[in-house]
Amino acid sequence: MGTGKRSLTTTAMALACAATILSAPGVAFAAPTPTPTPTPTPPRSSTPASTKDLEAVRKKLDTLYHDAAVATDAYNLAEERAEEQSTQIVGLARSIVEGQARLDHLKDRAGAAARAQYRSGGLPDEARLMLSDDPAEFLDGAGRIREGAQATKGLLAEMKRTQEDLEQYARDAAAQWKKLESNREAKEKAKKKVKKQIAAAEKLESQLEKEEKQRLAKLEQQAAYKAQSAWLGSGVLDEISGKASAQGKKAVEYATKQLGKPYEWGAEGPNTFDCSGLTSQAWAAAGQGIPRTSQEQWKQLDRIAVEAMRPGDLIVYNSDASHVAIYIGDGAIIHSPRPGRTVTIAGAGSMPILGVVRPEQ
Beta carbons of 335 and 275 less than 8 angstroms apart = yes
| Separation of alpha carbons 264 and 338, rounded Å | 8
In three-state form (DSSP H/G/I as H, E/B as E, the rest C), the secondary structure along 55-66 is HHHHHHHHHHHH
> Following DSSP, what letter does each residue of 179-214 receive, concatenated?
HHHHHHHHHHHHHHHHHHHHHHHHHHHHTS-HHHHH
3-state secondary structure (DSSP) of residue 104: helix
Contact 314, 279 (CB under 8 A): yes
Q: Which residues contact 179 (CB under 8 A, 6 or more apart)?
A: 81, 85
Is residue 323 part of the annotated active site? The answer reads: yes
Calpha distance 31→43 (Å, rounded)? 28
> Is residue 15 within a helix (H) or strand (E), and if so which, with residue range?
helix 2-18
Q: Among this protein's residues, is 335 annotated catalytic?
A: yes
- 332-335/353-358 β-pairing: unpaired
Q: How far apart are CA 279 and CA 293, in angstroms?
A: 9
The total of other beta-carbon atoms located within 10 Å of residue 282's CB is 28
Active-site choice (17, 66, 105, 275): 275
Which residues make Cβ contacts (< 8 Å) with residue 205, sequence separation at least 6? 61, 213, 216
Give the catalytic positions in this structure.
Answer: 275, 323, 335
